[in-house]
Structure 1
């Protein structure tokens, strides 16, 4: 699965959402499903091929556990992504 895991922060490498940060919410054979809690909600995640995703080493463990239990809100995804982007921009 291309070294991706649920709860991992990734960036889009192409398309209209180029450069945008997402959280991996689920994985399939050749696709990852991504959400940002804003335009791409958990109810309708973005489906992207692995080659169109730039992975990071950041896995948000709180979100990972909640995503596995299917007990996470879009607001939590927005909050964690915002915190990650602020942390990495310093």
Structure 2
């Protein structure tokens, strides 16, 4: 059982289903097993995907913009969701490049 409780604004990676290996952001925690995720692109805020937590890989990235927006207004723009996902992806690329060793 996955003991980490997802948080609103947290970036997750789908491990199962048609959208496996896609990233999304938790926009609502339904109960201890299910969350709603959206990415602002294929999955808009108004049509989030219901996912079993067991089928998600939690990252330690939490978007403060998304988290604050949902806490304050109950919703978030698709642009903010897209921004948060791309910010995380860009950071991963930078981390990879910084950690790379140049092989001859």
TM range (shorter): over 0.9
User: What is the root-mean-square deviation of aligned Cα atoms in Å?
Assistant: 1.3
Matched length: 90
Equivalent in the alignment of 1:68: 71
Task: Find the residue that maps to 2:18 and give its secondary structure.
Answer: coil
Equivalent in the alignment of 1:43: 46
Q: Runs ≥4 in structure 1, deviation > 3 angstroms? A: none
1:2 deviates by: 3.8
Higher strand share: 1
In terms of Rg, which structure is larger? 2
CA distance in 2, matches of 1:25, 1:3: 13
TM-score scaled to structure 2, two decimals? 0.81
CA distance in 2, matches of 1:72, 1:48: 19
1:43 deviates by: 0.5
Closer, same or farther in 2 for the Cα pair 1:49/1:85, shift >3 Å? same
The higher-RCO structure (CA 8 Å, 6+ apart) is 1
